[in-house]
Amino acid sequence: MCGRYMFATNPQHMTERFALSVVPPDLPTRYNVSPQMHMPVIIANSPNHLDFMRWGLVPSWAKDPSTGFKTINARAETVAERPAYRSALRYHRCLVPANGFFEWRATPQGKQPYFIHLRDELLFAFAGLYEIWHSPDGSELRTYAIITCQSNQLMAPIHNRMPVILPREAEAAWLDPKENRAAAVLSFLQPITAEAMDAYPVSTAVNSPRNDGPALIAPVLVAN
């Protein structure tokens, strides 16, 4: 799964990295992005467009927006079939920019958090889905989910699931609004190679969503 991630960059890097038309100057910096936070996502809108959405997808047909607490992740194996995600997979795909993510490894001493990132990419993108929910008063709630898949060899000792990190060359095809066949995009939902990643243990301070800051990604020593 993916329940926490990091996003920290500047508008110029975002603009260049994702070929964006406009990036607001006040991008948030979050070392501990948690569900229900509003964070930037990228959608294709000739050219690519940055939007801010709440993490935790609420399907357009949902009666209650609290559904989003349960739908922060969509499983790659069932995303084309689940009612909450199958329409979004065809029409509402997005990129979720990140610098890395956190996962917890079960140990005899308790759950140990790890920070996982790409070796050669400071900023990358998770495969995401988004929806627009309309409340009875007519207001909109824009929400997103991150797609997960089986872990690669690096992640497997930490957790059996990991977010889908799209290779840079696949991002445009994933976003392509003209492609609305689920079968055509499912092939992108694979674990990135283990050789492209690195992981190390970090402080349990990340366990609390109230904590933030660069200290959360500092390596720590743990007992074997």
pLDDT for position 224: 64
Query: Taking all residues of the chain, what is their mean pLDDT, rounded to a whole number?
Result: 93
Residue 169 has pLDDT above 80, yes or no: yes
* Entry field: residues in the chain: 224
pLDDT for position 88: 96
| 20-59 per-position pLDDT tens digit | 988 888 899 999 999 999 999 999 876 789 999 999 999 9
- What is the SS3 assignment for 158? coil
Place of tokens 């976003």: 175
**Residue 207, phi then psi, degrees to nearest 5:** -60, -30
| 84-137 per-position pLDDT tens digit | 999 999 999 999 999 999 999 999 889 999 999 999 999 999 999 999 999 888
pLDDT for position 26: 87
- 195-202 average pLDDT score: 98
pLDDT for position 208: 97
Q: Catalytic site residues?
A: 2, 103
What class, spelled out in words, does domain 4-217 have in CATH? alpha beta
What sign for the dihedral angle of Cα 37, 122, 120, 208?
negative
What residues contact 220, with CB distance under 8 A and at least 6 apart?
A: 201, 202, 203
Domain locations in the chain as residue ranges = 4-217
Residue 223 has pLDDT above 90, yes or no: no
